[in-house]
Structures are given as C-alpha cells and as structure tokens.
Structure 1
Amino acid sequence: MAFMKSAILVCVTAVLTVYLPQLWIKTRPIITSGTVEPGFEPVAKLFRKNFENGVEYPSGGSAFSVYYKGSKVVDIWGGYADSEAGRPWKEDTISTFFSTTKGMAALCIAILVDRGLLDYDKTVASYWPEFAQNGKEKVTLRMLVNHQAGLSYTSEKVTLELMEDQDALGELLARSPPAWEPGTAHGYHAITFGLYLSQVVRRADPKHRTLGQFFKQEIAEPFGIDFFIGLPLESFHRNARLMGNANSVLLSLLRGLSSPLNRQLMLAMATGKSDMSKILEVGWETVDGSVLMRPETLALEQPSAYGVGTARAIATVYGILANGGRTKEGKKLLSDNIIKKIISEAQIDGSIDRTLGLPTVNNLGFLIDEYEGSAQFGHPGSGGMQGRADPQKKIGLSYLSSYNSEFGFGDDPRFTSLQAATHKCIEELEAKRP
C-alpha cells in the first residue's frame, strides 16, 4: 500500500510538473506589437489573430517584416522570447534562422563576384588549390553554390570542436570526395554549403576574412543589418529560447505529415532515395537543437545554419535586393545585373533533389520560387523561417519564430498567411493609384 501511494504521488507530481507550466503558458495574455504603414493594417490584425486562433504556437514568439519599394512597411512581433520565463518578444529579440542563413552566405559570394574577385564559372581549386583532391578538380563555383558539387556530406564527421579550427576544417573539406559526379545532379548541401563557401571566401577576399567576418564588415555594419554569422557573446541575452521541434528532425517530419512536401521527403528517406540520413550521420552534432541554445555554439561560424538575427534584418537585405540592389537612398549592395541572373539563369527542369527527394530549383545559392505568377528568390529555414525577394513587385520579406514548426520548405501556414495578406494589401494600394 505504501508503495502504491508513493507511486501515485510520483505520477501526480510528474503530471503537474509537465502540464501545469504548459497550462500557464497557454493562458498567458497574447502580446503583439510593432508598426505598419497605412494600407498594411490587415497584416498586423492577421498576425495577432494567428496567435489567438492557434496558427501561432502559444509557447513561442515570432516576428514578420516587409520592405516594399525600398521602404519598410511592416515590422511586427509578438508572443514570448522565453515562454517559461515569461520574457516577451521585443523589438530587438533575435533568434536562429537555420538554413535561411544560406541566402546570406550566397550573397557574400555574389558580392565577391560583383567585385571581380570570384567567377562562378572558374573552378573552386583555382582559388583553393588543396580542394582539387579525390575527383573535385573540375568542380566550379557555380556547381558548389547550386548544390551540384556532390558534397552534401563529408567522408568524416564534422564536429563542433572541428568548427573552432578553420584550418583543420578546411583540410577535411578539401580531402572529402564527392558523393556523385559533380555537375550531373543536384542535392541539397544542408550542412556543408556554408562551410565550403567560407573556405572560398577566406582565399578570395584580399583580407582573408571568414564568411562571417566578411558579412559583418561588408553587409551588416554598412547597411545596419542586425544579423550575425557567429553571434557575439555580448548579444546572446537578446536570443530567444528555441521551442518545438528543434531537437528532432525526424519528429518534425512525422508531425508534419499534413505537408505534402514533408510526406515526399519521408517517402524518399524510407525508400533510400534521399541522402538525408547520411548528412545527419556525419553532421548531427553541429545541428542538434540541444546545442543551439549554447552561446559558445552560436558564436561559431556555420554559414549553413547558425545565422542569428531579427526578421527586420533579413527583410532589409531582401528588400534591397528586390529594389535593384540599392537602398532607397541609392547605396549599392549588389549589382542589378547579378540579381537578374539569379532568376533568369535558373534551370527549371523538374529534376529531383538527391537530398530532399523533391523537385527544387536553386541558382547562385538561392532557392527560386514563384508566388502568384511573380518569380522570387531567397531561402527558407528549418522550422518555418523565411527570407525572400520579389524583384518584379519590389518586395522583401522575412518571417522568424522561436517555435520550430514541422514546416521547413516554405509552406508554414504562419508565414504563408502573412505573405498572402501582404500581397493583398499591395494589390489594393496599387489599384488605388492613378
């Protein structure tokens, strides 16, 4: 009897410990804030409604920002940066963008090409001689940024300790053989993309900076972009606590079976038509959600996944790119000629990505997509993160959340609902103009 009482007490205590905090989180007041320009009020209303009707998760916080024709028109945030501590999401709250970081890595390469320091059609080995090992002699920079180099995973494990030593990391990447003949197929370089690009930047940049340092000094500081590839320890206090599925890629996919894209990836993995399991096997230590709340981890440069910043920052960058590569005041970030090539030179042939098991279109490091007949480029991130540019309509937007949902292909309803509302507002504004 005494044992039964003890067992019941333990069970009750466990239930109360697990579920009472969640109940408190769900009953906390809904907090949203920010600004919108006249005509975009429906976006802010929908953002709050998403928190009220469960589209947004009560245990997380989010932010959404839009630039239109060079001007900021939406800058809103809500929820909690740390729901357990009751810390609200604020204007300067930052969080991990995961693979949306790849778009910023691709931008660094594009800027170096713009300056004549890199050429997409030259071999990687022409800048990095040690790279020409084990069948990689003819790999061009274009193949690398377009996920066609066959380097979606390495022959040896990539660890956090290794990422602290750029020279040792470079040696591992240089000797790793391709998984398929470069240029014959494409497969998402989920973990290795930014690591390889940073090694290229170190050699092409006259100052021999890493990609994170280049981004900071050539993009973030000159253009006021609150985004880091290698988060300074003194900025970690602004970082949101990750919630949701950040700790399990498999759990995220299983919970996201309502997404046709997730179902396709799961099928590809189950039938051996996806390299995702191999990618995770050699690099899991570096993307395990449990390590991404450590300041020392985010301080490392992983330009594939460790980018940390605000939605406003990513929207600002894509807003500039959508505006011909210049700010509203005329300050140049990237030549319009290269921006046009991102979309115009993309090969839309329906070919299947070897990693994802899905037909994807990549060009110059950006994912190419379309919305209501208008071509866009940018990059989604695991858990629903998003950043994209629409040069035709001159829109740059970004979505960020501390709650990692099961939607990682740009089909997260939190983002898609806000995107639709934004486009509707712009259509109505344009219709009113003479």
Structure 2
Amino acid sequence: MSPFKNDPRIVAALQESIKLGEYGIAVSAYHKGELIVDCFDGLANTETKKPVDSNTLFPVFSVTKGVTALAIHVQADRGLLEYNAPIAKYWPEFGKNGKEATTVEQALSHRAGIPQMPDGVTPELMHDWAWMIKHIADFTPIFPPGTANAYHILVWGWILGEVVVRTDPTRRPFDVFVKEEILEPLRIKDFHLGVPSEKLSNVATLYGGNSFDMVDDYNISPTAVFPGSTVHNIPIVQQTVDPGAGAITTAPAVARIFALIANEGELDGVRLLSKDRVAGLSRLREGAHDPDKILTVPVWFGAAGYWLGGEEGKSDPIVGDHRDIIYSPGAGGSLAFADLRDSVAVAICHNNMDTVAIYPERTYTPIMKAIREIVAEREKATKL
C-alpha cells in the first residue's frame, strides 16, 4: 500500500475493486489544487506476483488524448494556432485529397472524416513518426470533413500531434514538446510518450482487452496495432510516441495534469492555460447529438477534444452528473477527468482490461464513492 494519502476508505475501496475483478490498480485525486488521494494495490504481473508500487507504470490508452488536447490548447493560448483554421495552414502537406479545408477543431472533435489508420501499419511502422505523418497526409476522407461524428481511435493522436509540432516555433518532436512545456513545469516525471528502456521493467503487464465493440470496416483499429493487451505488452509499442493512445504513466502524473485543468489552468503557481480557455473546454461540438459512425456506444463529445459529463445516458456516470466535467477514457477502462465546477481531478489506472466494456462503473464505484466523501468533508470543513 502507498504510505501517502491512503485514507482508510480509499484503501478499502481498492481492496473491493480487486475483489470485483481488478488485478493491479492505482488512483490519485486532487481537490482545489491539493493532492488528496494517492493509493495503489494489487499485482502489476499476476504470473510473477510482482506487486504494484509507486514506480509502476500503466498504459492508459486514450487517456493520452486528454494530454494531447491540452498541448493543442497551450498552443492556442499562445496565439500559435486557431481552432477554426485549416490544418493545412500549419501542415501544408495535409491539404490535399479533400482535406484542404479540414480544421483543427474538426480533428479535435473527431469530425475530420479520416478515422482510418494507414494500410499495412505494423507496430514497427507505427513507431516511425515520419512514416505515419506521410501516410496520414495522403489520406482521402472516408466521410466529408465536418459532416460526421467518427471517433478517430488511433490516428487522432498523430493528426493533432503533428499540428503541435508544426506550430512549435522550434519544431520539437511531440514527446519533447509535452515534456518541456507541460511535464517539466508541473514537475511530473512519470508520464511517458515512449518509455525509456531502463523503465520498461516498471510497466504493468496488461491482461485482456483484445476485442472492442465497434464498426471496423475502414481499417480504424487494425489487428496489428489494436489497443489491447496483445499489442500493448510489446516493448516497441511501449516505446512508441503515440499521442492518441500510447501514454504509459502513473495515476499521480495523470491526475496532476488534469488537476491543472480543474484548477482553472494553474497549479502550484504554474499557469499553462488562461481561465477563459479552460472555461471553453466543455463547449459542445457541432453535431453533438448525431450518432457516432465508428463506436456503437453513445459518444457525448466536446469541441475541445474531451468527452463531456452531464448528459444522461451518454456521459460516463462515474465522473459525475453535471456539464462542467471533461474526461478522457481509455480502452479497457483507464480514466482521467477534471471537474471544472468543483475543482476535482481524478485518475484511475489498472491492468485488467476485461473488467469493463466502456464505462468502469462496477469496479470503480467504491473508489469514486470514497473520493466524493473525502471531497465533501473538505468542502464542509472550509465552510465552518
């Protein structure tokens, strides 16, 4: 057990989650900019019985998108990009084959019409940023840009990641940009877009998650690079810079990034976004009520690159019940969210991808109940 911020209710909740089917699990939470929960339990590897500890790194899949979206918003806040500008303004090679007018916001909100991965992609080719970017630039849209909600499961990260690179005055690689502009200012060391070789032994072994309920008529998520345990236990995948589904990290690292958002763009004296920019992160996308062409589950998504809370029957109920919540769920149930109204940020990482379909309600419910009790007590104490 973590010796830090391990309220007995959280400890018990993690134990309950393991009884419900989790193998290894970690949770971290912030309230009004203060770390209030940091706890873990279970096994990082069920065969060797290696326990989860403070150094355990978890693949978090599309939770990564929340950090990549933050990078886009950092660039917008600096005046280096405009949401409604064509991607081709910043990445000229992208502007062909019907993508000439596709905007940054359309890509952010999964309405760019190019949810497919390149034909013939393999883990080795996915590892090659230049190969991915060249093939994406050559794409012809499956859906006319700006007309359809079509969740860009994997390719999303390279589209937006390259926009960040092209709008960076020094053209740093995407992982370097995130490290220098987000992680280092926030004093975060354990968020990796490509795990260093010396830390590969810290990565939790994933289990399950090798089937996904979606339509894949268009090479959206091909078997060779499918976001499940089979592919993401491979070292070359763990060392790939994949801005849409490839972060490998700890719960405290992810929670701290989302805490910055939940705290109006500033944390511990470090401001990365203006208050007005943060307030706009829960804005609805165009066609918000249209069904998704790729995912068969309800998709309640915003214009800014985040899923949104507060929509009954569509939002994940585990994150809360009001509109001022943005969140990033990952394949197999990894989760991070920022409650903009109540200034709460939570990250939950785990390694059994078969405990959920999409929403981690069953195994995470005890954890969220305990966190909300702690937050309510803190709120009450401040009013006394």
The question of a shared fold, defined as TM-score above 0.5 by the shorter chain, is answered with yes
Distance 2:293 2:355 in 1: 21
Q: Using the TM superposition, give the Cα deviation of residue 199 of structure 1 relative to its aligned residue in structure 2, in angstroms.
A: 1.8
Q: Using the TM superposition, give the Cα deviation of residue 197 of structure 1 relative to its aligned residue in structure 2, in angstroms.
A: 1.4
**Which stretch shows the higher mean deviation, 422-431 or 183-192?**
422-431
Query: Contact 2:263/2:343 (CA < 8 Å) preserved in 1?
Result: yes
Give the match for residue 316 of structure 2. none
Higher alpha-carbon Rg: 1
Q: Which structure's residues are more often helix, by fraction?
A: 1
C-alpha deviations, 1:291-339, integer Å up to 9, x for none?
3223222111111111000011111111111011111x32112222111
C-alpha deviations, 1:325-376, integer Å up to 9, x for none?
111x321122221111011455584221111132422321111113133521
Question: What are the within-5 Å matches in structure 2 for residues 14-413 of structure 1?
Answer: 32-36=1-5, 40-51=7-18, 54-57=19-22, 60-154=23-117, 156-225=119-188, 226-243=190-207, 245-246=208-209, 248-250=210-212, 266=213, 274-275=215-216, 278-281=219-222, 284-285=224-225, 287=227, 289-327=229-267, 329-346=268-285, 349-357=288-296, 358-370=298-310, 371-373=320-322, 375-413=324-362
**Which stretch shows the higher mean deviation, 73-82 or 298-307?**
298-307
Give the counterpart letter for 1:330 in structure 2. G
Query: Contact 1:154/1:176 (CA < 8 Å) preserved in 2?
Result: no
Give the counterpart letter for 1:33 in structure 2. S
Q: Secondary structure at the match of 2:29?
A: strand
Query: Contact 1:380/1:387 (CA < 8 Å) preserved in 2?
Result: yes
Query: Contact 1:347/1:361 (CA < 8 Å) preserved in 2?
Result: no
Distance 1:393 1:205 in 2: 33
Query: Contact 1:375/1:390 (CA < 8 Å) preserved in 2?
Result: yes
Distance 1:351 1:241 in 2: 37
Give the match for residue 315 of structure 2. none
Distance 1:133 1:386 in 2: 36
Where do 5+ consecutive residues of structure 2 fail to align?
311-319
Aligned residue pairs total 372
Q: Using the TM superposition, give the Cα deviation of residue 276 of structure 1 relative to its aligned residue in structure 2, in angstroms.
A: 6.4
Q: Secondary structure at the match of 2:336?
A: strand
Q: Secondary structure at the match of 2:308?
A: strand
Q: Secondary structure at the match of 1:389?
A: strand
Change in CA separation of 1:374 and 1:168 when aligned onto 2, cut-off 3 Å: closer
Q: Secondary structure at the match of 1:97?
A: strand
Give the match for residue 420 of structure 1. 369
Give the counterpart letter for 1:351 in structure 2. D
Q: Using the TM superposition, give the Cα deviation of residue 277 of structure 1 relative to its aligned residue in structure 2, in angstroms.
A: 6.5
Query: Contact 2:116/2:218 (CA < 8 Å) preserved in 1?
Result: no
TM-score by length of 2: 0.91
Query: Contact 2:309/2:324 (CA < 8 Å) preserved in 1?
Result: yes
Identity of aligned residues (%): 29
Q: Using the TM superposition, give the Cα deviation of residue 411 of structure 1 relative to its aligned residue in structure 2, in angstroms.
A: 3.2
Distance 2:134 2:127 in 1: 13
Query: Contact 2:308/2:323 (CA < 8 Å) preserved in 1?
Result: no
Give the match for residue 24 of structure 1. none
Q: Secondary structure at the match of 1:73?
A: strand
Change in CA separation of 1:424 and 1:148 when aligned onto 2, cut-off 3 Å: same
Distance 2:167 2:363 in 1: 39
C-alpha deviations, 1:205-243, integer Å up to 9, x for none?
112122222111211222122201111111112111112
Give the counterpart letter for 1:278 in structure 2. N
